[in-house]
Structures are given as C-alpha cells and as structure tokens.
Amino acid sequence: MARPVIAIVGRPNVGKSTIFNRVVGDRLAIVEDKPGVTRDRLYSPGEWNGKAFSIVDTGGIEIDGEDEIMKSVRMQAELAIEEADVIIFMCDAKSGVTHADDEVAQMLFRSRKPVVLAVNKVDNLNRMDEIYEFYGLGFGEPIAISGSHGLGIGDMLDAAIEKLPELEDDGYDDDVIRVALIGRPNVGKSSLVNALLGEERVIVSNVAGTTRDAIDTPFERDGQRYVLIDTAGMRKRGKVYESTEKYSVMRALKAIERADVVLVLINGEEGIIEQDKHIAGYAHEAGKASIFVVNKWDVVDKDEKTMQEFTQNIRDHFLFMTYAPIVFLSAKTKQRLHKLLPVVNHVSEQHAMRIQTHLLNDVVSDAVAYNPPPTDKGKRLKINYVTQVATKPPTIVIFVNNPEMMHFSYERYLENKIRAAFDFEGTPVRLFTRKKSDED
C-alpha cells in the first residue's frame, strides 16, 4: 500500500528545505540562503503520531521566471501538487504576502487539494502579529513556524495529518507478489512487461517517456500469482518536462511503495549512468527486495568475460545494494527471460523471511566470540540479545548496554554474519541498536 503524500510548496527562499529536513530528521536537501537552490523534488518517508507518509520538498515556484531552470522547477512543483494528497503551502513572515504568494495560492485553489498554510521565520512571539495578513490568502488560519528554531513544526504536521485521506488496500491477496519495474526512460520496462505476459498489453515505443502512468497487470505463472506495476521512466534531473506528458517520479515512488519486489532495469547497450544509482536508491531506501535486470543483452557485443565484467561494474557502482542479484536478459528476443521469475520468487521469500530468535542469537553470539566489539575508553559494547521485529524488509533489533558504542563498521560486520547464516538475498536488512531496559 502506497503512503499518502504531503508536498511542501511555495515560492523560492521561504525555507521549504529547512522544514523538510526537520520533518525527516536528516539534512537531505540542500539548504542555502539563495533563491532557487533546490532544483529538484526530494522525497522521504516520514511519520508523525503513528501516521506514515511520504513528504516531498519542491523547488520554489517562480511565477515570472522564464529561464530554463525556473521552468523546470515550476513544472516539478506542479507535478508534486498533482500527486500530493495534502499540500503544505509555505510563506515567509519577514517578506509578508507577495505577488508570487498570491499566484501560488491560485495554483493551489485550482488543484482542489487540502492545503495547510504555514508561515515560516516566526522566530519569536514578538513576530506573531506578522502572520495575520496571511489570512487573506484564503486558506484559513496560518500556522506560525520557525525552521531555524524548530518551532511550530508539530502543529503544522498535526494539521497536515488531519487532512490526509485513509488509503484503501489495493485489493490483492497476500500471496500475490507485487513487482514494480523502475528505470530511466527507454530501458525496456514496457517491453519486459509484454515479454512476461506474452502479449502486447502496454504501449511500447522507442520514444523515451511513452509510458505515462503506473499500470497494474495481474498474471499467473506456474501457480504463483503476480502483479506487474509498470511505471513511467524516471528522467534525468533538471530536464524540462512537457506539461502534456504529466511525467512524475512520484508515480514511480508510489509503485515502489506498493511493491514486494522491485526490478531495477539497466540498459545493457548503454551501460550504467549516474541516474541509475538514484533510481536504485529509491528502492533501497524504501526497504524493498530488489533485482538488477540488465536488458537489451541481445545487442551487446560479448565474449566469455563480458557478463562477469558487467556484473563487477554493477557491484562497483551500487555498493549499497550488494545483496541484489543480477539477471541478464533481452525482453525483445526473450533470451534468458525464463531466469527472471524464479529469482523474483526467491527474493520475495527472503524479503518476508522471519528467523527464530534463538537461531539469530546463536549466530550473533558466535560472531561476537570470533570478533569481539572494540573497546572505547576502556569500556566495551555488550550485546545482550537480538530479535527480529518485522519482515518486508527483515528488521532486527540488537539490545546492548550502550547504543552509542555500536560503531557502524561493527554493525555492518554483524549484518554480514547474519546474511552468511540466513541468506536474505535480494533484500535489505535493517539493524537497529537499542539500550536494554528492565522491561526488555
């Protein structure tokens, strides 16, 4: 089930990226006191009062700017508005209501989406009087916030959560494997869907961006039921999009959220480019089982080392996804196509696998005995016990005497030992360190 989407929009330099970083708890967005620094939408999962959502940071909407970057930023923001369930409209108390704010307000009225009006840079109570003019924008009571001081963020999120819709389940049974196909334009996603189905079910064209939206296609093979979720190709950052295409990365992200297994398609003829890393990163961050699918393998000039070299190239470029298997195929000729679904079945099982607590503790105990945690100022990390708390992805909590002493390198060592014992091929494994309490 896809998370509901909250988009932060507004003219440039009102502090959207600072608020976005406050909500997600990390400095993911570029923050600089200069208009137009945020050039692309940023996405991150968020949670507030038990309600999960995806939050989008958009580039500032520059109504009068006609240069190429501002055209792109405006289109990005319009598409985020189109895909959002709730919009946080951010303004700047120091500047007051500007002509650009009025123009953005008109865009939001036309969208007919629920809007929360947040007025940033209200850094102290003496500035509260400055928010009253924002009532004139027509979105009800403005919420005073301060990104730099973290004030009012909870009130803003309370208001946004209240307006989020209740999402309905997609209606598929639990035994159905949901498979999302993602990748930059023209890597052959639609061709692969057609090859798996054995019929022309989606538009196939060599024009990049032919697939305009996510398309669900159920099918069954050897008693296993699947749903293929084909998405619009993710374009390279900074490209100006035609408004008629209505292309949006958000649709691909929604497809990833709904998926059990994500197929990250790479063009075997062109090789790996930087954009492929961004696309794969979305699946990794969402905690989904993933498979690299190198398509168009039929047109690659090959010798006995070509596949091995391409595999190593993928491993070198995607160091954060060494767990993901690689399948080489041609959707056009169906060469090696039969190898794909067995791998999909396997990684789906690994993604949903639950390990008994005593087996997990045995593996970790052996790992600690073989390589004890390093000491820090005479103190040593003590691992009390380990338990798996969730699946999809497998999520493991390590209870220790002092979580601050768990170095990321030792955590990675434990993950590698767990993977060696239980496989978990194709799926990220999430480890969390917690202090053991009396209740535990």
Residue ranges of the binding site for GTP: 10-17, 57-61, 120-123, 183-190, 230-234, 295-298
- Which one-letter DSSP state was computed for residue 297? G
End-to-end alpha carbon distance in the chain? 31
Of 134, 131, 180, the C-alpha closest to 291 is 180
- Report residue 69: phi and psi, to 5°: -65, -45
Residue 41: name the closest of 337, 334, 317, 247 by CA: 247
What backbone phi and psi angles, to 5 degrees, belong to 272?
Answer: -90, 135
Residue 121: which residues within 8 A CB-CB, separation 6 or more?
14, 15, 92, 93, 94, 127, 146, 147, 148
Residues 6+ apart with CB under 8 A from 279: 182, 183, 184, 234, 252, 264
Binding site per annotation, positions = 10-17, 57-61, 120-123, 183-190, 230-234, 295-298
CA–CA dist 415, 419 (Å, integer): 6
What order do you get walking across the sheet with 395-400 strand by strand? Answer: 383-390, 395-400, 430-435
**Matching residue, tokens 């390590």:** 398
- Cβ neighbours of 191 (radius 10 Å): 21
- Asked whether 427 and 289 are in contact (CB, 8 A), the reply is yes
Q: Which two tokens stand for residue 152?
A: 């009012």
Distance of CA 109 to the CA centre of its chain: 28
Bridge-based pairing of strands 395-400 and 430-435 is parallel
